[in-house]
């Protein structure tokens, strides 16, 4: 075999056509991908849409070839085997002790391919080497943080030696990269996204912090998914978000020793046992702790969570119901109506009423200067209490803030751009939950990101770290005010990045910055529109290299799924989503006007002549 070039990744994962072939695969490769129930039928080791398929690892057979050992190890990495004990059996004794599968998970577009084996050039270096390679698209670190990557060549060696096993020698891997290496479908089968929650510093509302946990029992901790999620909250926020949020749990709070399983009762209430570090918390702090877990766990169950109760040292601490938890709702979004708005054909602000059969924009126009034509608008943002609106005039030159509930005066513009053409002037504005307005001035000679506190003329310029010569095209602040999504342009490419908002000081000493920009769409050629779609999700319009325009959802950590791509829609220039799934997605689709996508439905035309659809925010 030395010197032969073998391509094993896809051929290793061939369809097993009958029970006899499954047994053969077990004998040759060391493990197989089979359902845990039902009749034997053809399956692949990396099915695209079968998250219930389980992979069971088995130890290497006697006298297995070097190639079979490598194949068996790669399969064993995709299993839920406790502590990856079977995977370690494919490793040399010292390497089995030192291998750290939890250090990082490398995600490839497909299961890794293999080339080799090759022999070392010198007899003093015994053994064989295989090259494991593919297209790397993401990583998940030891803190469960997902990081999308621009597809790049991944290549790492696996070195094998013959190690004494009883009175004979067996091939074993004695050098390999730390962590797991999985194809995308195996990753989706084994892991699931979870939004953990922490409190915005200085505010009483929660901020989502997305992580990935195991779909089933964690091989290393032996915790079920509910317990994993709780444990992740107790471990604190991820490093990226930590400077802007805090946990209500006292330092050192952990699950009661030995807790590996947490189960909801018949009323869908959950009791969480904590250690003594939480025993003396105040009642209000305890309710904040329970609210963190309530929002973290609400999407992990098929039925609605009714209550979270906390215990420590055998004593009850507190509990919160769903209604009580709403006081801490993410981004301070509790109780809002979230009507959509748009700019009509006369440049006036109107409320979107898809069920209105009058066909007249006039009856839907708001009260005040933005509705009566005093100011002709090009783009707009609605305050989250729906009392004020920020609008940019039709020449993109000036930003105004005025009432949409009374006949107020328009007043002077908050800022006027000096850009020579409309595309070099002001972006569409955006409101945060504190009542501040954000807008980008795209003037090449004076580009800046501005915040207007409480929507007044007092502005603060934000320092944006890591722009690297890129220009801010669009601004969307999250409902919690902690994260900001920016469309950044350089040359012919516009990318979506998210930054952390940091504010310090006050008055003349106030400092405002957007820190630690991270790309959410490294795999896309360009992104042309974006909107937040809840506390930890965005909807974007863009395309991949050589592809067509897509409207799709993306998580705030950049992770996606095949199901996130929405039904086809052409010439989309703007898109907007509410803070809950119950709100229809709305978009500006060129000649089709304003269209909406109800939950579970298809795109529907609602306004023939209109633009700039928005929800509050």
Q: What is the pLDDT of residues 49-78, one digit of tens each?
A: 444 567 788 899 999 999 999 999 999 999
> 316 by DSSP, 3-state: which?
strand
CA-to-CA distance for 329 and 555, rounded, in angstroms? 19
Burial class (CB in 10 A: 0-12, 13-18, 19+), 332: buried
Sorted by sequence, the CB contacts under 8 Å of residue 43 that are 6+ apart come out as 15, 16, 33, 34, 35, 50, 53
CA-to-CA distance for 449 and 485, rounded, in angstroms? 12
Question: Is pLDDT at 331 greater than 90 in this prediction?
Answer: no
Q: How confident is the model at residue 492 (pLDDT cuts 50, 70, 90)?
A: confident
Question: Is pLDDT at 383 greater than 90 in this prediction?
Answer: yes
DSSP class of 435: S
CA-to-CA distance for 144 and 201, rounded, in angstroms? 23
Sorted by sequence, the CB contacts under 8 Å of residue 164 that are 6+ apart come out as none
Q: Residue 134: its pLDDT value, please?
A: 97
Q: Which residues pair with 209 in a beta bridge?
A: 196
Lowest mean pLDDT among 20-34, 49-63, 350-364, 366-380: 20-34
Topology at the third CATH level for domain 341-614? Neuraminidase (2.120.10)
SS3 content of the chain, % helix, strand, coil (to 5): 20, 35, 45
Q: CATH 2.120.10.30 in the chain: give the residue spans.
A: 341-614
Q: Residue 546: its pLDDT value, please?
A: 82
CA-to-CA distance for 134 and 108, rounded, in angstroms? 6
Q: Residue 27: its pLDDT value, please?
A: 35
Q: Residue 29: its pLDDT value, please?
A: 39
pLDDT in tens, 251-268: 999 999 999 999 999 999
pTM for this entry: 0.88
Q: Is the dihedral of CA 191, 212, 292, 558 positive or negative?
A: negative
Q: Residue 360: its pLDDT value, please?
A: 57
Q: How confident is the model at residue 124 (pLDDT cuts 50, 70, 90)?
A: low
Is the N-terminal amide bond of 86 cis, ω within 30° of 0?
no
Most confident listed range (25-34, 222-231, 330-339):
222-231
Pair of tokens at residue 338: 């979230």
């Amino acid at each position: 075999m030395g010197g032969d070039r073998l391509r094993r990744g896809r051929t290793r994962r061939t369809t097993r056509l009958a029970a006899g072939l499954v047994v053969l695969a077990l004998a040759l490769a060391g493990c197989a991908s089979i359902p845990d129930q039902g009749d034997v039928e053809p399956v692949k080791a990396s099915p695209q849409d079968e998250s219930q398929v389980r992979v069971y690892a088995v130890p290497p057979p006697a006298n297995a070839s070097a190639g079979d050992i490598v194949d068996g190890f790669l399969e064993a990495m995709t299993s839920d085997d406790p502590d990856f004990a079977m995977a370690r059996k494919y490793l040399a004794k010292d390497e089995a002790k030192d291998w750290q599968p939890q250090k990082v998970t490398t995600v490839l577009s497909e299961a890794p391919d293999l080339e080799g084996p090759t022999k070392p050039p010198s007899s003093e270096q015994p053994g064989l080497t295989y090259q494991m390679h593919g297209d790397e698209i993401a990583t998940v670190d030891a803190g469960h943080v997902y990081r999308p990557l621009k597809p790049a060549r991944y290549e790492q060696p696996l070195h094998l030696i013959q190690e004494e096993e009883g009175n004979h020698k067996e091939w074993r891997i004695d050098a390999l990269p730390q962590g797991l290496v999985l194809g995308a479908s195996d990753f989706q089968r084994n892991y699931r996204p979870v939004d953990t929650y922490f409190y915005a510093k200085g505010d009483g509302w929660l901020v989502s912090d997305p992580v990935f946990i195991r779909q089933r029992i964690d091989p290393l901790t032996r915790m079920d998914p509910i317990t994993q999620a709780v444990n992740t909250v107790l471990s604190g926020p991820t490093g990226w978000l930590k400077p802007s949020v805090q946990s209500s749990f006292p330092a050192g709070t952990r699950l009661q020793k030995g807790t590996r399983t947490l189960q909801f009762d018949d009323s869908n209430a959950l009791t969480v046992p904590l250690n003594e570090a939480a025993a003396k918390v105040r009642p209000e702090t305890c309710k904040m702790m329970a609210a963190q877990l309530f929002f973290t766990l609400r999407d992990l169950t098929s039925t609605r969570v009714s209550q979270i109760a906390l215990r420590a040292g055998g004593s009850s601490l507190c509990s919160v119901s769903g209604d009580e938890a709403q006081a801490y709702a993410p981004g301070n979004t509790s109780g809002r109506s979230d009507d959509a708005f748009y700019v009509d054909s006369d440049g006036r602000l109107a409320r979107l009423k898809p069920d209105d059969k009058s066909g007249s924009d006039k009856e839907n126009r708001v009260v005040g200067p933005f509705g009566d034509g005093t100011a002709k608008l090009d783009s707009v943002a609605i305050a989250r209490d729906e009392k004020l609106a920020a609008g940019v005039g039709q020449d993109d030159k000036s930003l105004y803030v005025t009432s949409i509930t009374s006949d107020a005066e328009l007043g002077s513009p908050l800022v006027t751009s000096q850009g020579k053409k409309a595309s070099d002037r002001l972006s569409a504005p955006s409101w945060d939950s504190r009542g501040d307005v954000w807008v980008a001035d795209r003037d090449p000679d004076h580009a800046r990101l501005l915040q207007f506190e409480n929507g007044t003329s007092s502005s603060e310029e934000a320092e944006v770290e890591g722009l690297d010569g890129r220009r801010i095209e669009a601004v969307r602040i999250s409902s919690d005010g902690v994260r900001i999504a920016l469309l950044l342009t350089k040359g012919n490419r516009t990318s979506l990045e998210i930054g952390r908002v940091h504010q310090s000081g006050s008055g003349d000493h106030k400092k405002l910055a957007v820190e630690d920009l991270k790309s959410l769409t490294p795999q896309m050629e360009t992104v042309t529109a974006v909107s937040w779609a809840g506390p930890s999700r965005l909807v974007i319009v863009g395309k991949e290299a050589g592809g067509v325009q897509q409207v799709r959802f993306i998580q705030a950590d950049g992770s996606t799924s095949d199901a996130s791509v929405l039904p086809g829609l052409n010439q989309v220039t703007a898109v907007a989503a509410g803070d809950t799934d119950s709100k229809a997605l709305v978009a500006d689709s060129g000649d089709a006007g304003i269209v909406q996508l109800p939950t579970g439905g298809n795109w529907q035309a609602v306004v023939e002549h209109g633009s700039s659809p928005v929800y509050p925010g």
